[in-house]
Amino acid sequence: MGDTAPPPSDRRIGERYLACFPASLERSDGEQRPSIIRDLSESGALLLVRTTKVAVGDEVRLQLYIADDASTFRPATALTMYADEIRLFRERAERLGLK
């Protein structure tokens, strides 16, 4: 491996945490799509969603269900504001043996 820069998807500032929890993506046309967060950091999330109507650069709204209360979501406007909850999520996952 050389000293080349990683692809843009690998340039997150915060440490990534393995995740598998629900989220909801709302497209610009108002359609909501269920989704799964695969990994999470304070600067981004890798989202798995089944839709053909979202392209790179499209604005979407994302709701994350990262709190202890599974019915409570956090709008993902700036993940840095949820740093403590992301850390607690990571700690819960590590206690379960997920890394």
Quote the CA–CA distance of 68 and 57 in Å, as a whole number: 31
- The CA distances from residue 32 to 26, 36, 46, 75, 94, in Å, are 4, 13, 17, 13, 31
CATH number, domain 14-95, options 2.40.10, 1.10.3470, 3.40.50, 2.60.40: 2.40.10
Q: Compute the C-alpha angle 17/18/20, nearest 5°.
A: 125
The pLDDT tens digits of the residues spanning 6-60 come to 455 555 567 787 778 888 999 888 999 999 988 888 777 888 888 888 887 888 8
The pLDDT tens digits of the residues spanning 51-98 come to 888 887 888 888 888 777 778 888 877 677 788 888 888 888 888 887
Q: Which helix (H) or strand (E) holds 87?
A: helix 83-95
Confidence (pTM): 0.60
